[in-house]
Chain A
Amino acid sequence: MNVSFWLDGREFSLNLTQTKTNDIRVSLGNKTYGVSVEFIGKEEILLNIDGKIHNVMVEANTTSYTVYVNGQCFQIEKKSALQILGPKAGKQRMANVQTSMPGRIVKVLMNEGDEVEEGQAVMILEAMKMQNEIKSPRSGRLGKIGPQAGDSVETGALLFTIN
């Protein structure tokens, strides 16, 4: 079976072949790995990759996998229709800035239609006693601004768009 993933803006293609009940041969790039798989729980997997033990956790979402390895968290995107359209479409999607955490909007620093530069703060979100600047991921013109100062937002809520 062949699968393609996106991670940190790069595409990775994997080939997976089951060799035994619990064994899979995985090819990635020009390398092949012998992987033995044990499910500890629904999401927790014990991987033995060429003799090395890895305790990982894989959460399956609609368009991505959230993988926890060695205390680190990786967001691995499944290759979706959007990405097949090319990098442009992917970029387009990036212009929707969503919140990765729930919180309260303390202040909106800019107005719809303003020119914004990459890394410029657009609003301030407060969560867990801390105020965090929500910065623009790229330069452009601010389209819609979702929440107003004082609003509570849930994870995944649209904060603003950049055209």
Chain B
Amino acid sequence: MAKKFKKILVANRGEIAVRVIRTCREMGIIPVAIYSDVDRTALHVRLADEAYSIGEAKPSASYLNIDKIIGVAKECEAQALHPGYGFLAENPKLVKRCEEEGIVFIGPPSKAMGIMGNKTASRIQMAEAGVPIIPGTLQPIEDEDKLEAEAKKIGFPVILKASAGGGGKGLRLVRSKKELLSSFRLAQSEAESSFDDPSVYIEKYIEEPHHIEVQILADHSGTTVYLGERECSIQRRYQKVLEETPSPFLDEKTRHEMGRVAVKAAAAVDYRNAGTVEFVVDKYKKFYFLEMNTRLQVEHPVTEMVTGIDLVKCQIEIAAGKPLAFRQEDIKPSGHSLQCRIYAEDPDNDFMPSPGKILRLRTPSGGLGVRDDNGVYEGYLVPMDYDPLLSKLVTWGQSRAEAIQRMLRALSEYQIYGIRTTIPLFKRILQHPQFSSGDYNTHFIPNLKKEKDGDSSEDKLVALIAAGVKSYCESKTGLGFRQKQKTSLWKAQGRWQNQDKRRR
């Protein structure tokens, strides 16, 4: 029996809260926002119908505080809760609490989330279901004598990984048998000193890996469909920055095979609602299950652009108990879509975060196939407390080349002044011959960094001239003429000409 939601609590912040609020509004559902102390004037609050304070800036006190969030949901009488991504989106405890309190959680059941949230448990379950997983030992190697046999079984090259490691640390590549033992010992001592835990396990090393994921949707009758893949190999710090669909690397056969395997993976855990099955694909187009993200993905818009399906709307309808409105054969992606994640980070300085005030914001609205999902506005102070994602700029084109050209055009119009962003990086990526050829893998950004920096000498010259002009105008204004009423002739002229332009 399908329910009707009158009110949905959006338990998140930033662009994703804005994204969910928009769909709620289009569906005639009242969106309710929550906010921490530093988010009182955030865009998601400004766009909501109702908003409730949930305390201090630090996530553990606010956006991660299940009791407070459930409290707000009950108080405002929301029938359902959308978790967005990040924060509590993949926390089975929140799902359980919702189930207990009679609030519909817009996402999978806690059991499926629990299995997929555990790396070892999910891999075991997937292997049983016949989903290919990366060959490896899973458990730490304790006995040096077993090392060689295991490595042989997996096949060289192999990678040694610290069990307690993460974020790319504690990894060691071994290409042949003769490096194996010494590398293993080194890996152990590294793991010991870095993570205080010497356990190391072996996994097959994937050469020139691609990170490709498949979007699935499953309704409550168990009908599960796949909506094509997303190529997510452009990464920095093992995090995605640019995604596209379809993947220029895959052929039709592999694409559908991956889709069917993704559906099988979801069915094996009785998955419901929207989810994403992530695969690592080697250079021979062999793919292996990596993990399943049991939530809406940051990069979901590219799938929406090529399928014309609003994934958030599907999520809400599935949560309300409605069956999927389409079958697998109805899903026919058309064209190509790209997404650039505009982060408040300095790409020229190791992606250092760059919080601060946005002095000027111009977004590239206008034209066919440009979408800007942002969570900020001019005058907004980007807080240091949360993820630095400002906006997701998405373009669609009939072909990949058209989508890339459109993205370059949109980026050239995108002006964010006041803080540093990843916009210049995307201009470099999109104009790189290796990217245009579509032949790239997860090593792309690290390799790009090694290449000579892009030629910015013209921009530098413009910057110098601009500073010169500014100092010239300051000298004309003079120290004693700073009062507001003494508007300089230059400014008056500028304004006058501006108005003139508007009149025309």
Could you list which residues of chain A lie within 8 angstroms of chain B, going by C-beta atoms?
Answer: 1, 3, 5, 7-8, 12, 14, 16, 18, 21-22, 24, 26, 28, 33, 35, 37-45, 47, 49, 54-60, 65, 67-74, 76, 78, 100-103, 127-130, 132, 155
Which of the candidate stretches B126-134, B182-190, B288-296, B411-419 sits at the interface with the other chain? B411-419
Known: A43-B360, A74-B463, A76-B464. A127 touches B424 (CB 8 A): no
In the complex, which residues of chain A have a beta carbon less than 8 angstroms from the beta carbon of B475? 1
What does the 1/0 interface line of B383-415 toward A look like (CB < 8 Å)? 011111000000000000000000000011011
Inter-chain contacts of B423 with A (CB < 8 A): 71
Can you sample 15 A-B contacts with CB below 8 Å? A3-B468, A14-B468, A22-B490, A24-B472, A28-B465, A47-B466, A47-B469, A65-B467, A68-B415, A71-B411, A71-B421, A100-B354, A101-B384, A128-B388, A130-B353
Contact B469 A37 (CB under 8 A): yes
CB-CB < 8 A to A16: which residues of B?
468-469, 472
CB < 8 Å A-B pair total: 156
With A69-B463, A72-B459 in contact, is A155–B356 under 8 Å at CB?
Answer: yes
B464–A14 contact, CB under 8 A? Answer: yes
In contact, A58 and B415 (Cβ under 8 angstroms): no
Q: How far does the Cβ of B483 sit from chain A's closest Cβ, in whole Å?
A: 14
Partner-binding segment picked from B155-163, B329-337, B492-500: B492-500
> Roughly how many angstroms separate A7 CA and B463 CA in the complex, as a whole number?
10
Residue of A nearest to B350 (CB): A132
Tell me the dominant secondary structure on chain A's binding face.
strand
B465 touches A26 (CB 8 A): yes
Please tell me which one of the listed residues B384, B412, B470, B495 contacts residue A128 in the complex, with CB atoms under 8 A apart: B384
The answer to whether A128 and B468 touch across the interface, beta carbons within 8 angstroms, is no
Cβ-based interface call for B27 (8 A): no
Instruction: State whether the Cβ of B7 lies closer than 8 Å to any Cβ in chain A.
Output: no
Nearest-Cβ distance from residue A78 to partner chain B, whole angstroms = 7
> Which residues does chain A contribute within 8 Å of B344, judged by CB atoms?
128
Contact A69 B353 (CB under 8 A): no
Q: Are A69 and B494 in contact (CB under 8 A)?
A: no
**Which of A18, A69, A74, A127 is close to B355, meaning CB atoms less than 8 Å apart?**
A127
Q: Is the CB of A68 within 8 A of B464?
A: no
Q: Given A40-B494, A101-B352, A128-B355, are A67 and B469 also a contact pair (CB < 8 Å)?
A: no
Report whether B490 and A35 are in contact in the complex, using a CB–CB cutoff of 8 Å: no
List chain B residues, Cβ under 8 A from A130: 237, 353, 388
Q: Is the CB of B466 within 8 A of A45?
A: yes
**Set of chain B residues within 8 Å of A45, measured between Cβ atoms:** 466, 469-470
Look across to chain A and name the residue whose beta carbon is closest to the beta carbon of B345.
A128
Contact indicator B494/A39 (Cβ below 8 Å): yes
Inter-chain contacts of A1 with B (CB < 8 A) = 472, 475
How far, in Å, is A104 (CB) from chain B's closest CB?
8
Judge if B77 is at the interface, Cβ distance under 8 Å.
no
Give A102 to B355 CA distance when docked, in angstroms: 7
Residue of A nearest to B237 (CB): A130
A128 contacts across to B, CB distance below 8 A: 344, 353, 355, 384-388
How distant is the Cα of A72 from the Cα of B424 in the complex, in angstroms? Answer: 6
Q: Does B341 contact A (CB under 8 A)?
A: no
Closest to A73 in B: B420
CA distance A127 to B411 in the complex (A): 26
The answer to whether B420 touches A24 (Cβ under 8 A) is no
Q: Which residues of B contact A12 (CB under 8 A)?
A: 464
Docked-complex contact B417 and A21, CB < 8 angstroms = no
Q: Does any Cβ of A come within 8 Å of B491's Cβ?
A: yes
A24 to B466, CA, bound (A): 11
Is B471 close to A, CB under 8 A? yes
Contacts of B368 in A (CB 8 A): none
Given A38-B494, A47-B462, A132-B352, answer yes or no on A58-B424 (Cβ-Cβ < 8 Å): no
Does B461 belong to the interface (CB within 8 Å)? yes
- A7, B466: Cα distance in complex, Å: 13
Q: Tell me the nearest residue of chain A to B501, going by C-beta.
A: A38
**B328 at the binding interface (Cβ < 8 Å):** no
- A58 close to B467 (CB less than 8 A): yes
Residues of the B chain whose Cβ atoms lie less than 8 Å from the Cβ of A100: 352, 354
Please pick, from A5, A22, A24, A38, the residue contacting B464 in the complex, using a CB distance under 8 A. Answer: A5
Q: In the complex, what's the smallest C-beta–C-beta distance from A109 to chain B, in angstroms?
A: 14
Contacts of B463 in A (CB 8 A): 7, 56, 67, 69, 72, 74, 76
A71 touches B462 (CB 8 A): no
Closest to A27 in B: B468
Contact, CB under 8 Å: B421 / A39: no
A54 touches B462 (CB 8 A): yes
Q: Contact mask B442-485 → A, CB, 8 Å, 1/0?
A: 00000000000000100111111111111110110000000000
Provide the residues of chain B in CB contact with A127, threshold 8 Å. 353, 355, 384
